[in-house]
Amino acid sequence: MQKLKLGSKDLAKENIQKLSTIFPNVVKEGKVDFELLKQILSDYLIDGCKERYGLNWVGKKESILKANTSLNKTLRPVVEKSVDFENTKNLYIEGDNFEALKIIQESYLNSIKMIYIDPPYNTGKDFIYKDNFTKNKAEYEEEIEAIDEQGVKLYKNTDSNGRFHSDWLSMMYERLLIARDLLKEDGVIFISIDDNEVHNLRHICDEIFGEGNFVAQFVWRKRTGANDAKKFVSNDHEYILCYSKQDSFSLRGIEKDFSNYKNPDNDPRGEWAVDNLTCNKTASERPNLFYDIVDPKTGIVYKCNPNRVWAYEKSRMNQLISEGKIIFPKNPNGTPMYKRHKSEVKSSFKPISSLLGDFLNANSTKQLRNIIGGQYFDHPKSIDLIKILLKQSTSKSDIILDFFSGSATTAHAVMELNAEDGGDRQFIMVQIPEIIDEKSEAYKAGYKTICDIGRERIIRAAEKLRMENEELRIDMGFRYFRIDTSNFKESKDISEIDQNNLFEDVDNIKPDRNELDLLFEVILNLGLKLTLNIKTKEILNKKVYFVENNLLIACFDSNVDENLAKELAKFKPQKIVLKDNSFKTDNDKINFEETLKELSPESDIWVV
């Protein structure tokens, strides 16, 4: 019987393990001798720390360390805030996104096809996070000096708030480090950003995803007209940085809109639309394209415009006329047009770096207001903008993650796209329960946190989609989870135990936690997905959970003995989980394991 390891994965330890298999002499007593490693990997003599190209800032090293350290937190299901908890494959996670990413890291490793994030842009008032690495000015100066002494170049903002960029960079860096691991090999990340940090963000993305995996820096227009900004230029655009996990990735391209292609004359060649028959050249530039043409049916002569001549030479034009590819207007002064059939047109355009369309902030705000009934969230992104990114990068059954979810525009876009193309893309939204100002309209309307707004938006967007199409059968539910400390008490150090607390830890589960809490912590710790199907059965008066049929069977009831083992063995489960102290006696624990080994030798048995 194996004891299930709790808490998120200790990546540093695992990587050290991997390193030691290649360079056994570099790892001593679990610690890496970096100088030796550097020396082994270099063809010159290493003399101390060398500066290298890259962006550095105060707190960068701590961020790397933080991203690699394990976290003793978990996700607790909130069934009453979920929609269609039993069947849905979508997730809404309430909590800090660094913690969320760490907690789901193992379960969703190499699983996410597309990440879209719209982080705070570091405008001076939009950046909230709950890490405690924010240092006071004195600590910061001290640290700068310390690092300067080692010769490492620092990014330093010289204004009075010198930590401004560093704090933001650390916040992004440690999150992106984990996010990359979650992407599938053919996965892609899109990051909304503006001029405040785009240059820094590109540096850290180049470092994390690799310069070669830079796909594009898309530009899109957020407003019309100038604003009253104090700067010289009024910015009316923002960016979306795009990086792939591997350089073999390519975007699908934007599908061409064929809605104006019709077939009113039942042309056997199929649907068509009218197109220009002229080109942007003059008669003197292209004399061979300057000639009159005649409609063979009516005999009407159409003059060529000397400033914009025909697109084809006479012989080709005659061929097109005989094939019925030219449409002649009734008016002799009108311009003949080209009859372009759908079959002649490529179905998609190569993506271009300027995203064209109506994505204006004002309209996105209106879109959201129409859904949730008031001006409750500032600057949501456009559903159509995110849909373009989804269309270019995802297929119908992919998982999409947004860990700065805000009003949950991404969830809305995923549902809309699924409704359009019958897909079953799944979303994972993560949002910190940022408190809403008591004086705001949103608070007066009953919203206490941004999560309340995001959750409500998903519910109402689903209602709207259902109203628009009663036949719609797509997944519009979500399992709602909240980040909390582990359900299991931390085991006391032997020195902490005395006569008074000797029996306190007999049950290692915190008193306010229920069985579903335990089940999901087990699911996470076994690296399984949070959307697996869960059924319960009563067996020998015990409640037994079946996760994805027989993938995992769990029972957290007490007084377990070998009779239960005989019953569970019939299902030939891949994994069985029980509470360590749930056996009637120590003998029952041994007999339980022996019985299962005999009747279902393939089953792994775990205790928590």
Ligand X SMILES: C[S@@+](CC[C@H](N)C(=O)[O-])C[C@H]1O[C@@H](n2cnc3c(N)ncnc32)[C@H](O)[C@@H]1O
User: Should residue 120 be labelled a site residue for ligand X when binding is judged by CB under 6 A?
Assistant: yes
Stretch binding ligand X (CB under 6 A), from 60-68, 279-287, 426-434, 526-534? 426-434
Which residues from 446-465 bind ligand X, rule CB under 6 A? Answer: 450
Residue of 57, 92, 129, 545 that binds ligand X (CB under 6 A): 129
Q: Is 568 in contact with 543 (CB distance < 8 Å)?
A: no
Establish how many alpha carbons lie within 13 A of residue 138's alpha carbon, considering only the half-sphere containing its beta carbon: 0
Q: Quote helix, strand, coil % in the chain, to nearest 5.
A: 35, 20, 45
| Residue found under tokens 């029980």 | 578
Residue of 108, 218, 404, 520 that binds ligand X (CB under 6 A): 404
Shortest Å, Cβ 357 to ligand X: 16
The length of the chain is: 608
User: Should residue 380 be labelled a site residue for ligand X when binding is judged by CB under 6 A?
Assistant: yes
- Mark 521-560 with x for binding to ligand X (rule: CB under 6 A) and - for no binding: ----------------------------------------
**Closest residue by beta carbon to ligand X:** 406
Shortest Å, Cβ 443 to ligand X: 15
C-alpha span between 607 and 582 (Å, rounded): 9
Shortest Å, Cβ 393 to ligand X: 17
Amino acid at 299: G
User: Should residue 381 be labelled a site residue for ligand X when binding is judged by CB under 6 A?
Assistant: yes
44 is written with which tokens? Answer: 């010159």
Shortest Å, Cβ 434 to ligand X: 4
User: Should residue 434 be labelled a site residue for ligand X when binding is judged by CB under 6 A?
Assistant: yes
User: Should residue 409 be labelled a site residue for ligand X when binding is judged by CB under 6 A?
Assistant: yes
Residue 105 or 431: the one with the smaller Cβ distance to ligand X is: 431
CA dihedral for 124, 136, 146, 207, sign (positive or negative): negative
Residue of 59, 406, 423, 573 that binds ligand X (CB under 6 A): 406
Shortest Å, Cβ 189 to ligand X: 14
Shortest Å, Cβ 373 to ligand X: 16
Burial (Cβ within 10 Å: 0-12, 13-18, ≥19) of residue 600: buried
Shortest Å, Cβ 244 to ligand X: 21
- Mark 69-108 with x for binding to ligand X (rule: CB under 6 A) and - for no binding: ---------------------------xx-----------
Distances (CA, A) of 469 to 80, 459, 463, 465, 478: 27, 16, 10, 6, 20
Q: Name the DSSP letter for residue 477.
A: -
Residues 6+ apart with CB under 8 A from 4: 522, 525, 526, 577, 606, 607, 608
Q: How many helices (H) and strands (E) does the chain have?
A: 16, 25
Residues at the interface with ligand X (CB under 6 A) = 96-97, 118, 120, 128-129, 380-381, 404, 406-407, 409, 430-432, 434, 450
